[in-house]
Structure 1
Amino acid sequence: MSNRSPYARSRQKSCISCAEGKRRCNRQTPQCSRCLAQGLECTYLSAWSPQKRQNISRQLELSNFAEVWPESSPVSDEALSFWPLNDSSSDDTSFTTSWLNSMPSLLTIPSFPPAELYPETTVLDKWSTNQLLRNIKRYPQMFVSSRKTPFIHSRLYDAFLPDTIQDAFTALAAYGTKTSETEDLIFRILESKTTRLVAQDHHTSTMPQLLAAVHALMLFQIIQLFDGDIRQRSLAEQHMDTLRIWTFQLQVRAGELTPALTWQDWILAESARRTIIFAMLIEGVYLTLKTGSCPNVKAMSILPFTSETTLWDLSTSASWLAESDQLRSETVLYGDFTKGWQEGKVSRRLDGFQKLLLIPCLGERYREVLELDS
C-alpha cells in the first residue's frame, strides 16, 4: 500500500476549483461534474506549466486540502448538516453529480444546479401528502409479498441475502399478521430488531451490505413512524440520525461505482440511487406531518436516477442486455427530470415511480395527471 498522504494523491488529479473549495472531484474531463453543475471554470494542474503547477500545489498544501470526506458524527445537530443538505451555499452537489454515468439527457447542460430552482423548505398540500403517505405505508408488506419496492429491485437479493434483510423480512412478515392480541409482542420484536440493526458499524462494510442495512432500517422506520404508537414514533425519531449517516455513506460509496457492465451491477447501482431518494422522501413526509413543511425537496433535486424506468421492470439478464442498448439507460438529476416534464420533454406516459417523484415538486395542481392508483 502506498504511504503517500491523501493530499499527495489528490493534488495530481483534482481540478483547481474542487481543490480550492475543499470538495471531492471526480476528475472528469474536460470538466468535472461539480464544475459542470456549478458553472465553474475547470482547470487541471496538468494543463499548466511545471512552475505554475508547483506554485498552485504549494498553495493548496498550505490550505490543508485533503480529498477525504470527514467521518459522520453521531451527534444529532451535526448529522443534520450532512443530510439533507439544507445550506443553500453548500457545494456538495459533487456527491451526486459525480454519480451520473452520462450527461443528463432531458435538458441541455444547465448553467446552474437544479437545486437553485427549489426553496429551502416546501409546504406540501394535503393531497400530495396523503398520496405519498398512502403509498409509502405499503412498502413493508409489498417487500414481504413480492420482495420488491420502488427502491428495492426484485432481483437485488437473489445471490446475496444478508442477515439484516433476513431479519427485516421475518419481522415484517410477522407484522403483517398482527392482531390486537399480538400487536404488543410484534412491536417488541420490531424494537429488538431495530436496536440490533442500528448498533452496527458500516464504515468498513461493502456497498451491498450497507445498502441492505439502509433498506432494513427504512422499512422499520416506515412502520414505526407511520403506523406505530407514540413509543414507536419516539424510537424511530431516535434512529433518524443513523439513517441519515448511513445514507450519506451510501452516497459516497455510490459515487465510486464504475458504469454498470452487467445486469447485477446495474441493479445494485439503481437500487442505491432510488434508495437515497426515498430515504429523503420518507423523512420529508414525516416532517411535513410533524412540522407542516418539508426541507428535503431542494436536496432531492440534485440526486440522480435512471430516467428510463422500463429497465427496472425487466426480469432477466438477457432482456436487460437487449433493452439497455435500445433504451436510454443514463441517469438524470431529479430536478432536471421535474423541469423536463414541465417543459414537455418527457412525452411518455408516467409510471407510478415517476409520479411519486413529481408529486412533492408539482402537487395538487397536477392532480389529474399524478393521481396514483389505489
Structure 2
Amino acid sequence: MEFFYFSQMRAPSYLVQQWCYSGLTGADLTIYEPPLPVIEWRKDLATVYYLATHLKAFPLTFAREAKTPFIHSSLYSQSLPKQIKDTYGVCRLYSLSIENNGLFCFQSLHKKVDEIIKEYPTLCSFSDLLASLQSLILYLLICLFDKDPQQRRFAEAHMNTLNQWTRHVWEQAPTEISGKLSPWQAWVFAESVRRSIIISYLIRGVYHLTRFGYHPHSMFVETLPFSRHTWLWDIPSRTEWTSLPPNLSQSIVSYHEYTNEFANDLIHPYHLFETLLLVIRFGKDSFNQHLGIA
C-alpha cells in the first residue's frame, strides 16, 4: 500500500534548509498564492497566546483521552511501545498535578527524555522512531510553556533534537505500508506520521514566536502533507471505515494547498489540527474574520 505523498511531495534538498524571507509582516488572505514571509506576531498577543495555550494542552489531552491531534486513538491499540507507555504515565502525573494544584516532579520527565535520547540510535523499526518523536513532542510541550524558566530552558536545549528527529522520521518514512494492516489501520498509521511531522514544525514555529516574536517560514514546511478530509480522523472503527468510498482516504493536500484553499473559501476547518495550522499562518484575528467569528 502506497504511503501517500511521502514519495511524491519531497522538496528539493536545497529548499529543506533554505529559509524564505521577505519584508512582509504577515500573510494576506486575499492573495491566491501567498508568499513565504517571516511571519511576525510581536504585537499580536492573541495569536501567540491561542497557539501556545492549545499546544500546552496536548499532554493533558493525551493523559485524559490517550490521543492527540497527532496521535490517533487507535494507533497503538494492538501494540503499545515502551516510549508511549512511559509518556502516558508522565502526562498522567502532570495532569493530576494540574488538577490538584500540586507540584509536578520534572526530574522524572527529564530522566525519561534522557532515556529516549540514549535509546534512539539503537532503534531498528520506523514505528519506534515515530513513537520516540511523539514522546519527545509531549515531553517538551510540558516544559516549553511552563512558568519555571528552568523548564523552558530544558525544552529549548532539546529543540535541536526535536528538529533532527523530525527530519529523520520524514526521511525514513516508508513508501510502502505493511500489507498486514487493514486499510483503516494503514491510514491511521500514515496520517499519524504526517501529523506528527507537521505538529513538530508547528511547535518550532510557536517557540520562535514566543521567544523571538517571529516565525521563519520555509518551502519545506509548505510541502508537508496531510489528509484533505480531516474528519476521517474521527472514524472510530474499522467497520465504519469500510463503509466509506474507497478513494476517499487517498486524497492528500499539502500545507501550502490547504492554506490557499482556505483563503479562497474552498475548505472549512473542522478540528483543532487545521485551525492551528491556519492561525499560525494568518493570525487569530484574520482567521476569525474570515470565518465570520466575532
TM-score higher than 0.5 here? Answer: yes
Q: 1:160 to 1:258 in 2, by over 3 A?
A: closer
Q: Secondary structure at the match of 1:201?
A: helix
Partner Cα distance (1:200, 1:237) in 2: 21
Q: What percentage of residue pairs aligned between the two structures are identical?
A: 30
Q: Does 1:117 align with 2:35?
A: yes
User: Taking CA–CA contacts closer than 8 Å with sequence separation of 6 or more, which of the two structures ends up with the larger relative contact order?
Assistant: 2
Partner Cα distance (1:207, 1:228) in 2: 35
Q: CA offset at residue 324 of structure 1?
A: 4.6
Partner Cα distance (2:272, 2:50) in 1: 11
Partner Cα distance (1:172, 1:204) in 2: 23
Partner Cα distance (2:270, 2:85) in 1: 33
1:183 to 85, 95, 103: 103
Name the larger-Rg structure: 1
Q: CA offset at residue 252 of structure 1?
A: 1.3
Q: Secondary structure at the match of 2:78?
A: coil
2:85 to 166, 171, 179: 166
Mapping for residues 25-104 of structure 1, pairs under 5 Å: 85-88=17-20
RMSD: 3.1
Q: Does 1:136 align with 2:46?
A: no
**Number of residue pairs aligned between Structure 1 and Structure 2:** 272
Q: Deviations over 1:46-82 (max 9, x none)?
A: xxxxxxxxxxxxxxxxxxxxxxx9xxxxxxxxxxx99
Q: CA offset at residue 134 of structure 1?
A: 1.4
2:261 match: 340
Q: CA offset at residue 326 of structure 1?
A: 6.5
Q: Secondary structure at the match of 2:197?
A: helix
Query: Which amino acid counterpart does residue 362 of structure 1 have in structure 2?
Result: F
Q: Secondary structure at the match of 1:325?
A: coil
Query: Which amino acid counterpart does residue 192 of structure 1 have in structure 2?
Result: K
Q: CA offset at residue 279 of structure 1?
A: 0.4
2:252 match: 331
2:141 to 198, 222, 230: 222
Q: Does 1:288 align with 2:209?
A: yes
Structure 1 regions of 5+ residues with no counterpart?
1-24, 27-31, 39-68, 70-80, 90-113
Partner Cα distance (2:141, 2:36) in 1: 26
TM-score w.r.t. length of structure 1? 0.65
Partner Cα distance (1:317, 1:151) in 2: 19
Partner Cα distance (2:199, 2:217) in 1: 11
Q: Secondary structure at the match of 1:117?
A: coil
1:304 to 225, 234, 259: 225
TM-score w.r.t. length of structure 2? 0.82
Deviation beyond 6 Å, 4+ runs, structure 1: none
Q: Deviations over 1:230-269 (max 9, x none)?
A: 2111121221111111111111122533598621111111
Q: CA offset at residue 371 of structure 1?
A: 9.3
Q: CA offset at residue 182 of structure 1?
A: 5.4
Say if 1:281 and 1:296, in contact at 8 Å, map to a contact too: no
Partner Cα distance (1:366, 1:194) in 2: 35
2:282 to 337, 362, 367: 362
Q: 1:182 to 1:353 in 2, by over 3 A?
A: closer
Say if 2:19 and 2:217, in contact at 8 Å, map to a contact too: no
Q: 1:236 to 1:366 in 2, by over 3 A?
A: closer
Q: CA offset at residue 183 of structure 1?
A: 2.0
Q: Does 1:352 align with 2:277?
A: no
Partner Cα distance (2:96, 2:9) in 1: 48
Q: Deviations over 1:122-144 (max 9, x none)?
A: 11332221211111111101011
1:127 match: 46
